[in-house]
Amino acid sequence: MTIAIEETYITDVDGTRRRNYYALFMWAISGILMWWQMPKVRMWGGVTLLFSLGIASVLGYAMYAVFTN
């Protein structure tokens, strides 16, 4: 049985992508946990987090509107 190089490449890239998503998820969770342990920066961190989520939502909606027309 032979395996084509293209199939092996696709499998490798797919596996790498899954590991990267897990690593990014763990990085984000650990960052939020560390931020929560620093009371002096909680308020500004929360403001920044809400602002970032708002900007990401607006950009996401704008891209959806552009690409679906």
Assess whether pLDDT exceeds 90 at residue 65. Answer: yes
Instruction: Specify the pTM.
Output: 0.56
Residue 67, token pair as written in the block: 């690409």
Provide the 8-state DSSP code for 18: H
Domain boundaries, the chain: 1-37, 39-69
pLDDT (tens digit, 9 = 90+) per residue, 44-59?
A: 989 999 999 999 999 9
Residue 66 has pLDDT above 80, yes or no: yes
pLDDT digits (tens, 9 = 90+) for 6-63: 555 555 555 556 667 788 889 889 988 998 899 999 999 899 999 999 999 999 999 9
How does residue 5 score in pLDDT terms, banded at 50, 70 and 90?
A: low
